[in-house]
C-alpha cells in the first residue's frame, strides 16, 4: 500500500507537504492553546512535522496515519530526532474511515481531505474521534482569485473551478455544516514557493542519481514544465489555509 510514486519522489525532502511554513505551523500550535497531555489525531500526517513539533513545544500526545511508507518512516525519524518518540505514534496505513479508540482534543486532516471524499466527509469522519469541546482542523485550498476560465483552474491542477470555494464561501460552508470557525492560519505566496519550488531541486537531484530509472522521463518532463506552470497558475490563483472548527 502506498501513494503514487511521483509524490514520494518530488516531496522526499519535504518536512511539510503543504504551503504552510514551520513558523506558521508553530503559530497554529500557539493559536489553538494546546495543553500538555492533549491528544491530537492527524489523518494524512505526512512526515509528521505538525505532531512532532507540537509534542516538543506543547507536550501533546499524537497519532498520525499516512499511506506513504517513506513519509511515515521520515515521521518516525523526526520524532526520534526531536526526542518526542514516546509522545507520538505514526501508523503506515489508509486513513479512510479511521476513528480513534480514545476521543481526542484535536482531530486534524491538513491537506488530505480526499481521504473521506472531500471536506464534508472528512469533517464527519474527524467528528467521530472528537471529544466534547474539541477542535477539528481542516487544511484546504481556496481560490485567492476566482479563475476566469476552466483552463486556468486546470492549470492549477484542479479538475474544475467548482473544486474549491473563494475564502468567504469556504468559511460560510463550515457554518452551513454546523461548525463555528474559531481560528485560521492562511498560507502566503512565500509559503507556496517553499512547498512547490522545493520540489524542483529534489527532482533535479533525483534525476542525477536515477538517470536509468524508468520514471526518469516523467520526472524530467515535470521539472521542465513545473516552474512556469506554478508561476502562471497556482501561485496566482490558489490560496490555502488551516481552519479550526468547533461544533455549534
Ligand atoms: N498533513 C501533512 C501531509 C499533507 S500531504 C503535512 O501537512 O505535511 C497529503 C498526505 O496524505 C501525504 O502524506 C499522503 O501520503 C497522504 N495520503 C494520501 N492518501 C492517503 C490515505 N488514503 N490515507 C492516509 N494518508 C494518505
Q: What is the pLDDT of residue 27?
A: 98
Residue 225: exposure state from Cβ atoms within 10 A (0-12, 13-18, ≥19): exposed
Specify the pLDDT at position 199.
98
This prediction has a pTM of 0.97
Confidence of residue 122 (pLDDT cuts 50, 70, 90): very high
- The CB-based long-range contact list for 113-118 (8 Å cut-off, 24+ gap) reads 113/138, 113/139, 113/140, 115/43, 115/44
Q: What distances in angstroms separate CA 217 from CA 34, 212, 220, 224, one per listed residue?
A: 46, 9, 5, 11
Mean pLDDT for the stretch of residues 212-235: 97
Backbone torsion region of residue 111, taken as left when φ is above 0, otherwise alpha when ψ lies between -120 and 50, otherwise beta: left
The predicted model gives 17-37 an average pLDDT of: 98
Q: 102 near 38, Cβ under 8 Å?
A: no
What letter would DSSP give residue 97? T
The predicted pLDDT at position 246 comes to: 98
pLDDT band at 145 (very low <50, low <70, confident <90, very high): very high
% of the chain beyond a pLDDT of 70: 100
Is the shortest distance between the CB of 112 and ligand 1 below 6 Å? yes
DSSP H or E run through 59 = none
Q: Which residue has the cell 485550498?
A: 141
Question: What's the chain's length in residues?
Answer: 248
Q: Give the nearest ligand 1 atom to 3 CA.
A: 15
Looking at residue 203, its pLDDT comes to 98
Identify the H or E element spanning 154. Answer: helix 150-155
Cα(50) to ligand 1 centroid in Å equals 12
Mean pLDDT, residues 29-52 taken together: 98
pLDDT bin (cut points 50, 70, 90) of residue 54 is very high
Q: Is the CB of 25 under 6 A from ligand 1?
A: no
Confidence of residue 109 (pLDDT cuts 50, 70, 90): very high
Q: Whose CA is nearest to atom 5 of ligand 1?
A: 17
Cell digits for 68? 506513504
Amino acid at each position: 500500500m502506498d501513494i503514487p510514486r511521483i509524490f514520494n519522489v518530488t516531496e522526499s525532502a519535504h518536512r511539510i507537504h503543504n504551503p504552510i511554513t514551520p513558523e506558521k505551523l508553530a503559530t497554529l500550535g500557539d493559536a489553538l492553546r494546546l495543553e500538555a497531555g492533549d491528544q491530537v489525531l492527524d489523518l494524512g500526517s505526512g512526515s509528521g512535522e505538525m505532531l512532532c513539533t507540537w509534542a516538543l513545544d506543547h507536550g501533546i500526545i499524537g497519532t498520525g496515519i499516512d499511506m506513504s511508507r517513506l513519509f511515515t518512516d521520515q515521521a518516525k525519524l523526526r520524532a526520534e530526532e526531536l526526542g518526542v518518540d514516546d509522545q507520538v505514534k505514526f501508523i503506515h496505513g489508509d486513513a479512510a474511515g479511521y476513528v480513534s479508540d480514545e476521543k481526542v482534543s484535536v482531530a486534524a486532516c491538513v491537506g488530505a481531505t480526499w481521504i473521506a471524499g472531500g471536506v464534508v466527509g472528512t469533517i464527519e469522519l474527524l467528528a467521530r474521534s472528537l471529544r466534547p469541546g474539541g477542535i477539528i482542523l481542516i487544511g484546504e485550498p481556496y481560490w485567492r482569485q476566482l479563475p476566469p476560465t476552466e483552463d486556468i483552474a486546470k492549470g492549477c491542477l484542479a479538475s474544475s473551478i467548482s473544486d474549491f470555494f473563494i475564502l468567504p464561501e469556504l468559511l460560510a460552508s463550515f457554518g452551513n455544516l454546523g461548525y463555528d470557525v474559531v481560528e485560521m492560519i492562511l498560507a502566503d505566496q512565500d509559503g507556496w514557493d517553499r512547498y512547490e519550488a522545493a520540489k524542483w531541486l529534489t527532482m533535479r537531484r533525483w534525476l542525477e542519481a536515477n538517470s536509468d530509472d524508468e520514471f526518469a522521463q516523467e520526472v524530467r518532463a515535470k521539472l521542465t514544465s513545473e516552474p512556469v506552470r506554478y508561476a502562471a497558475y497556482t501561485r496566482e490563483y490558489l490560496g490555502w489555509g488551516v481552519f479550526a472548527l468547533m461544533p455549534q
